[in-house]
């Protein structure tokens, strides 16, 4: 157990990635245990571009559990946080009583301070903090790896897929207690090195309906959701794993787009309906289809979560041309790194024929900025104590706090 001062303060810092689903999770069969109605599959994105850093400290001197997210203290009584902490304490106590009665997990009865920051704007609509604190807490308290999915799930269901790098599935599982509803790596981040990911950020607005309440209403009212969970997803998961293993981009892209579209169809089938996509999302969808149609094959694919921002999957060979297509049809307000962030791309010339064939009116400032990235590894421990977000007093360092 890493400790600054054996008597009082133990601290761990780790980084965790963001994941983007290509087979979506939407609907819970158990809202307390956070068990899904269908399996899902995602790609973990690279932490050089998108990561959450989390420091967790525990001390017998702390009066209460406290949490700071992106520089602001949040209400620790948030039920999700409470169940996350409860789950950790339950597993750690069990471990203390059974497997390893000699290890020092006394910290489990102490209060914890959690501090977490993203290296990307909240507007990007990409969340990963739950996997970050689950992982840091695992290191601190020695929770078994198999139990980690359950802890991360308590923060946010989809976060359990961020516990691994590369392609990750969250298996539906069959047991009532959720013991077999776990995240599992399908292929590592180096399996498909040509794969590239672009996040097109179209809006700074907060999402209108959160995913938790959105999927609750869908489960209550959408017949399509039941059909998807029972009939569509089981075979789609098998198909998706097969096309990933074969590195078959056209099949991967088509399945990804169809699954995103079905998720948003369920949102429309929900009563009252939920609208996550906006006009700009619809324009991006059209652009992708027109681009693919021009080449007569699926070179680029979109997927959308519970918000209007698009995530684009493509291959390295087509990346620079497609970025140029996006710049042409969504002329940016700002230039350079303010518009294009992350892994650089080469410039490309667009043929007049391609522009004419796509046949869309340009929408100036339609896309605020792009984050360019690729597949990446799972959570990592940060060894250098200088990178702890909490100081020796257990409070966030000055550099972490926002005004
Ligand atoms: C549309 O994981 O945010 O992004 O478990 O209620 O916290 P809760 O939901 P959350 O749902 C994410 C849904 C999604 C699809 C996906 O990532 O699979």
Residue 391 φ/ψ region, left for φ over 0, alpha for ψ in the -120 to 50 degree band, beta for the rest? beta
- Give the pLDDT confidence score for residue 83 in this predicted structure: 81
- Best CA proximity match to 59, nearest among 7, 116, 133: 7
State in Å, rounded, how far the first CA of the chain is from the last one. Answer: 34
Burial label for 135, CB within 10 Å (0-12, 13-18, 19+), is: buried
Together in a domain, 111 and 207: no
Together in a domain, 175 and 220: no
Residue 335 lies inside a defined structural domain of this protein: yes
Residues 198, 163, 24, 242, Cα dihedral to 10°: 90
54: helix, strand or coil: strand
- Best CA proximity match to 318, nearest among 301, 343, 300: 300
Together in a domain, 211 and 359: yes
Q: Which atom of ligand 1 is nearest to the CA of 306?
A: 1
Q: Which two tokens stand for residue 76?
A: 């620790």
- Give the pLDDT confidence score for residue 206 in this predicted structure: 61
Together in a domain, 41 and 69: yes
Going by the DSSP 8-state scheme, the letter that residue 29 receives in this structure is E
- Give the pLDDT confidence score for residue 207 in this predicted structure: 56
Chain segment 54-77, per-residue pLDDT in tens = 999 989 999 999 999 888 998 888
- Give the pLDDT confidence score for residue 334 in this predicted structure: 83
Give the distance (Å) from ligand 1 centre to CA of residue 362. Answer: 32
Q: Which CATH number covers residue 363?
A: 3.30.70.890
Give the distance (Å) from ligand 1 centre to CA of residue 25. Answer: 6
Together in a domain, 77 and 177: yes
The domain tally of the chain equals 2
- Give the pLDDT confidence score for residue 92 in this predicted structure: 67
Residues 6+ apart with CB under 8 A from 62: 110, 111, 112, 113, 394
- Give the pLDDT confidence score for residue 90 in this predicted structure: 76
Helices (H), 98-246: 129-141, 148-155, 211-221, 223-227, 233-245
- Listed as ranges, residues in the chain with pLDDT below 70 are 1-7, 92, 94-108, 123-125, 127-129, 145, 203-207, 403
CA atoms within 13 A on the CB side of 155: 24
Q: Distances in Å between the alpha carbon of 330 and those of 103, 187, 324, 325, 348?
A: 57, 34, 10, 8, 16
The beta strand positions in 337-393, using DSSP E, are: 340-342, 369-373, 380-381
Residue 1 lies inside a defined structural domain of this protein: no
pTM of the model: 0.92
Together in a domain, 308 and 177: no
Give the distance (Å) from ligand 1 centre to CA of residue 57. Answer: 27
Together in a domain, 392 and 368: no
Residue 65 lies inside a defined structural domain of this protein: yes
> Chain centroid to CA 147: how far?
19
Task: Note down the domain range covering 96.
Answer: 10-188+377-400
Mutate which of 29, 158, 236, 264 to test ligand 1's pocket (most atoms within 8 Å of Cβ)? 158
Pocket of ligand 1 (CB under 6 A): 21, 24-26, 34, 40, 156-158, 211-212, 305-306
Residue 319 and residue 197 in contact, taking contact as beta carbons nearer than 8 Å: no
Q: Which two tokens stand for residue 296?
A: 């007569």
Residue 14 lies inside a defined structural domain of this protein: yes
What residue's CA is closest to ligand 1, atom 7? 156
Residue 301 and residue 253 in contact, taking contact as beta carbons nearer than 8 Å: yes
Token pair 């059209």 is at which residue? 286
Distance separating alpha carbons of residues 135 and 56, to the nearest angstrom: 10
Q: State the pairing for strand pair 340-342/369-373.
A: parallel
Residue 4 lies inside a defined structural domain of this protein: no
Helices (H), 119-208: 129-141, 148-155
Together in a domain, 274 and 351: yes
Q: Which atom of ligand 1 is nearest to the CA of 170?
A: 18
Together in a domain, 107 and 229: no
Radius of gyration of the chain (CA): 22
Give the distance (Å) from ligand 1 centre to CA of residue 86. Answer: 21
Q: Which CATH number covers residue 62?
A: 3.30.230.10
What residue's CA is closest to ligand 1, atom 4? 305
Together in a domain, 101 and 217: no
- Best CA proximity match to 61, nearest among 115, 104, 11: 11
Residue 2 lies inside a defined structural domain of this protein: no
Q: Which atom of ligand 1 is nearest to the CA of 263?
A: 1
Q: Which atom of ligand 1 is nearest to the CA of 36?
A: 5
Residue 3 lies inside a defined structural domain of this protein: no
Residue 5 lies inside a defined structural domain of this protein: no
Together in a domain, 325 and 394: no
Any bridge partners for residue 201, and if so which? 369
Together in a domain, 278 and 140: no
């Amino acid at each position: 157990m890493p400790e600054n001062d054996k008597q009082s303060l133990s601290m761990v810092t780790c980084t965790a990635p963001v994941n983007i689903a290509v087979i979506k999770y939407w609907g819970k069969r158990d809202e307390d245990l956070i068990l899904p109605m269908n399996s899902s599959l995602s790609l973990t994105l690279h932490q050089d571009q998108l990561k959450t850093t989390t420091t967790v400290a525990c001390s017998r001197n702390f009066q209460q559990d406290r949490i700071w997210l992106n520089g602001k203290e949040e209400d620790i009584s948030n039920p999700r946080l409470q169940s996350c902490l409860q789950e950790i304490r339950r597993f750690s106590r069990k471990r203390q009583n059974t497997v390893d009665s000699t290890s020092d997990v006394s910290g489990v009865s102490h209060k914890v301070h959690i501090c977490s920051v993203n290296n990307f704007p909240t507007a990007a609509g990409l969340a990963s903090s739950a996997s970050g604190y689950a992982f840091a807490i695992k290191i601190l308290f020695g929770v078994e790896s198999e139990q980690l999915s359950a802890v991360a799930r308590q923060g946010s269901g989809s976060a359990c897929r961020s516990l691994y790098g590369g392609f990750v599935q969250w298996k539906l599982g069959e047991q009532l207690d959720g013991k077999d509803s776990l995240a599992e790596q399908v292929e590592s981040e180096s399996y498909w090195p040509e794969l590239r990911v672009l996040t097109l950020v179209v809006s700074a607005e907060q999402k209108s309906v959160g995913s938790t309440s959105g999927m609750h209403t869908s489960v209550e009212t959408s017949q399509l959701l039941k059909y998807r969970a029972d009939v569509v997803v089981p075979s789609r998961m098998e198909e998706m794993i097969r096309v990933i293993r074969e590195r078959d981009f056209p099949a991967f892209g088509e399945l990804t787009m169809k699954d995103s579209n079905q998720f948003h169809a369920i949102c429309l089938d929900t009563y009252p309906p939920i609208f996550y996509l906006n006009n700009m999302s619809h324009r991006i969808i059209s652009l992708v289809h027109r681009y693919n149609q021009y080449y007569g094959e699926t070179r680029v694919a979109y997927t959308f979560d519970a918000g209007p921002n698009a995530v684009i999957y493509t291959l390295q060979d087509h990346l620079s041309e497609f970025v140029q297509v996006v710049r042409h049809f969504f002329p940016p307000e700002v230039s350079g790194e303010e518009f294009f962030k992350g892994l650089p791309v080469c410039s490309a010339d667009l043929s007049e024929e391609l522009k004419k064939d796509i046949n869309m009116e340009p929408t100036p400032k339609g896309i605020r900025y792009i984050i360019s990235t690729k597949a990446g590894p799972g959570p990592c421990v940060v060894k250098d104590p200088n990178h702890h977000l909490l100081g020796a007093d257990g409070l966030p360092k000055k550099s972490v706090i926002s005004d």
